[in-house]
Amino acid sequence: GAVVSQHPSRVICKSGTSVKIECRSLDFQATTMFWYRQFPKQSLMLMATSNEGSKATYEQGVEKDKFLINHASLTLSTLTVTSAHPEDSSFYICSAARVTSGGANEQFFGPGTRLTVL
């Protein structure tokens, strides 16, 4: 259990276009999902926290108008990179929170999406 999927796994787009990345919790309902960005040889950096049915909470320095997040259901969150630029090229990872059998609140990560903006 606790499987999180992302689609697409890789995407290449032209500068100025928009790209949508989907994150799904396949076998559990997640009230909270998270979006991270990871540059080469660096750790994951939290971009935003997404709660079902409400506006996402963005970390300092992350432009909410550029990185649109929609959490339409308990199993789906989407990240749209608008007007993409080459500096947006990165590895985007989502995670979904679930309370484990031991009572701990744990995040389960998706496989990531490699975005390349030409």
Partner 1 sequence: KNQVEQSPQSLIILEGKNCTLQCNYTVSPFSNLRWYKQDTGRGPVSLTIMTFSENTKSNGRYTATLDADTKQSSLHITASQLSDSASYICVVSARAGANNLFFGTGTRLTVIP
Q: List interacting residues with partner 1 (CB under 8 A).
A: 4, 6, 32, 34, 41-46, 49, 91, 93, 95, 97, 104-112, 114
114 C-beta neighbours (distance < 10 Å), count: 13
User: Closest Cα partner for 94 from 24, 29, 17?
Assistant: 24
Closer by beta carbon to partner 1, 7 or else 82: 7
CB of 17 to partner 1, least distance (A): 23
Closer by beta carbon to partner 1, 73 or else 100: 100
CB of 67 to partner 1, least distance (A): 18
CB of 42 to partner 1, least distance (A): 7
Supply the DSSP string of 24-66, one letter for each residue.
EESSS--SEEEEEEE-TTS--EEEEEEETTS--EEPTT--TTT
CB of 84 to partner 1, least distance (A): 20
Closer by beta carbon to partner 1, 19 or else 30: 30
Closer by beta carbon to partner 1, 54 or else 105: 105
> What residues pair up with 50 in beta bridges, in sequence order?
33
64-79 in b/e form (b: 16+ CB < 10 A) is eeebbbebeebbbbbb
